[in-house]
């Protein structure tokens, strides 16, 4: 994956983070998901007073892209204000796997650090019934 693409996605995720709705945790997260045609979809976390209804930035980005008709994705960037970059939660990993098991994931923080992973690294034993068999 091209370094320029990584930088572009990190910048998009950083901008998306500004729209986070996180009045309870004050933990703002931004995500940017690239479709196979190069289009980028942003997401930020959206919390709710009923905490279990909160949706992570990664899933907001994915659902926005799916609602726009996209089904195949190549990369995702995630930006947080943490000492070290953080990776997507387990729920997001599984939901991303549904559409893009070969996705690459770049986790970045506001300090300019980033780490690159593959989704298969992050979710080695995904739930996958392979109903096509
Ligand atoms: Zn998540």
Would you state the structure tokens that stand for residue 4, as one six-digit string?
């320029």
pLDDT band for position 1 (cuts 50, 70, 90): low
Residue 133 is predicted with a pLDDT of 55
Q: Do 39 and 33 form a contact (C-beta atoms < 8 A)?
A: no
Please give the model's pTM, rounded to 2 decimal places: 0.95
Residue 132 has pLDDT above 90, yes or no: no
CA 1 / ligand 1 centre spacing (Å): 23
Q: How many CB atoms lie within 10 A of CB 87?
A: 17
Task: HSE, CB side, 13 Å, CA atoms: give it for residue 86.
Answer: 18
Residue 2 is predicted with a pLDDT of 87
Helix 3-17 with 57-67: angle, nearest 10 deg: 100
Q: How far apart, in whole angstroms, are the C-alpha atoms of residue 35 and residue 100?
A: 10
Model pLDDT for residues 33-74, shown as the tens digit of each residue: 999 999 999 999 999 999 999 999 999 999 999 999 999 999
- Which positions ≥6 away from 69 have C-beta within 8 Å? none
CA 131 / ligand 1 centre spacing (Å): 25
Measuring CA to CA, how many Å separate 117 from each of 6, 70, 71?
Answer: 12, 22, 21
Compute φ and ψ for 122, nearest 5 degrees. Answer: -80, -25
Class of the CATH-defined domain 3-122: alpha beta
Model pLDDT for residues 83-95, shown as the tens digit of each residue: 999 999 999 999 9
CA 29 / ligand 1 centre spacing (Å): 10
Neighbours of ion ligand 1 (CB under 5 A): 56, 89, 92
Model pLDDT for residues 95-129, shown as the tens digit of each residue: 999 999 999 999 999 999 999 999 999 999 999 87
CA 53 / ligand 1 centre spacing (Å): 12
pLDDT band for position 131 (cuts 50, 70, 90): low
pLDDT band for position 130 (cuts 50, 70, 90): confident
Would you state the structure tokens that stand for residue 47, as one six-digit string?
């919390």
Task: List the catalytic residues.
Answer: 58
Compute φ and ψ for 5, nearest 5 degrees. Answer: -65, -40
């Amino acid at each position: 994956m091209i370094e320029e693409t990584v930088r572009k996605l990190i910048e998009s995720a950083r901008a998306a983070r500004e729209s986070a709705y996180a009045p309870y945790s004050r933990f703002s997260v931004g995500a940017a998901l690239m479709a196979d045609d190069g289009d980028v979809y942003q997401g930020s976390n959206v919390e709710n007073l009923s905490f279990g209804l909160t949706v992570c930035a990664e899933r907001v980005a994915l659902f926005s892209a799916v609602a726009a008709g996209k089904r195949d994705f190549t990369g995702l960037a995630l930006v947080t204000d943490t000492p070290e970059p953080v990776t997507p939660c387990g729920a997001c990993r599984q939901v991303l796997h549904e559409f893009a098991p070969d996705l690459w994931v770049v986790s970045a923080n506001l300090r300019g650090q980033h780490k690159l992973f593959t989704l298969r690294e992050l979710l080695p034993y995904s739930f996958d019934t392979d109903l096509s068999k």
